[in-house]
Amino acid sequence: EAGVTQFPSHSVIEKGQTVTLRCDPISGHDNLYWYRRVMGKEIKFLLHFVKESKQDESGMPNNRFLAERTGGTYSTLKVQPAELEDSGVYFCASSQEKGLGEKLFFGSGTQLSVL
Amino acid sequence: GEDVEQSLFLSVREGDSSVINCTYTDSSSTYLYWYKQEPGAGLQLLTYIFSNMDMKQDQRLTVLLNKKDKHLSLRIADTQTGDSAIYFCAERRISGTYKYIFGTGTRLKVLA
């Protein structure tokens, strides 16, 4: 069974440009999460989808970030325009069940560098 | 606050035991997790413990939970070079939307 896949694995862009990150969750997983880790700091929650609906987007830094999950399958996270402080590793995770016993399966992340 | 705290680095010799520590803040947390991230890979769930337990053992891994002090530790027995990775502690809260709160990660380096 394929795991959570993320594309691209690395992206280097200039300040002001736009970048779109993609996440394909494990097939059948309704829950999809985006997280971000800035170098040396904790992994921070960005948002949570249940199927195509945004369940919780309280971690989104500002309106330069837009996440979508059309059709409840893959998700995209667009940063427009990118700023220097957006650099970091963006992780996607998915899960099947919800509640306290939920186990997350993570992708390998997208390393974003904004120059 | 939301902080889950870990020390950033740990270095041990191959064959020794490693102990990675974590403190969390929310007493309502019901599950606590340890994830491992190897270079170039995503986070892999290693083990987890329910908050009504004090200890959980799984082969070379032992998780200890001190609820009073909100302290969690992961002990790796007979540490191998393949254990070199970043280890993240995470708590799962019952308040709000059950989201995970992760720590900063501890980079474990195993010396041959």
Name residue, tokens 């960005």: A46
Predicted confidence (pLDDT) at residue B1 exceeds the cutoff of 60: no
Provide the pLDDT for residue B60.
Answer: 96
Asked whether the beta carbons of residue B41 and residue A108 sit closer than 8 angstroms, the reply is: yes
Structure tokens at A54: 């945004």
Strand partners, B21: B73
Q: How far apart are CA A43 and CA B103, in angstroms?
A: 7
Span A51-76, pLDDT tens digits: 999 988 999 999 999 999 988 899 99
Predicted confidence (pLDDT) at residue A40 exceeds the cutoff of 90: no
Q: Classify residue B82 by its DSSP letter.
A: G
Q: How far apart are CA B101 and CA B92, in angstroms?
A: 7
Asked whether the beta carbons of residue B99 and residue A93 sit closer than 8 angstroms, the reply is: no
Residue of A nearest to B37 (CA): A108
Mean pLDDT computed over B57-84:
94
Q: How far apart are CA A18 and CA A57, in angstroms?
A: 20
Q: Are strands B31-37 and A19-24 parallel, antiparallel or unpaired?
A: unpaired
Residues 44-63 of B with CB under 8 A from A: 44-45, 48
Structure tokens at B96: 């709000």
Neighbours of B89 (CB within 10 A): 26
Given A91, A99, A103, which is nearest B45 (Cβ)?
A103
Predicted confidence (pLDDT) at residue A85 exceeds the cutoff of 80: yes
Q: Are strands A110-114 and A10-13 parallel, antiparallel or unpaired?
A: parallel
Mean pLDDT computed over B27-54:
87
Residues in A touching B98 (Cβ below 8 Å): 98-100, 102
Provide the pLDDT for residue A100.
Answer: 62
Phi, psi (degrees; rounded to nearest 5) at B33: -125, 155
How many percent of chain A have pLDDT more than 90?
82
Predicted confidence (pLDDT) at residue B100 exceeds the cutoff of 90: no
How many percent of chain B have pLDDT more than 90?
63
Provide the pLDDT for residue A1.
Answer: 61
Provide the pLDDT for residue B28.
Answer: 73
Least confident of A58-67, A94-103, B47-56: A94-103
Name residue, tokens 């200039």: A14
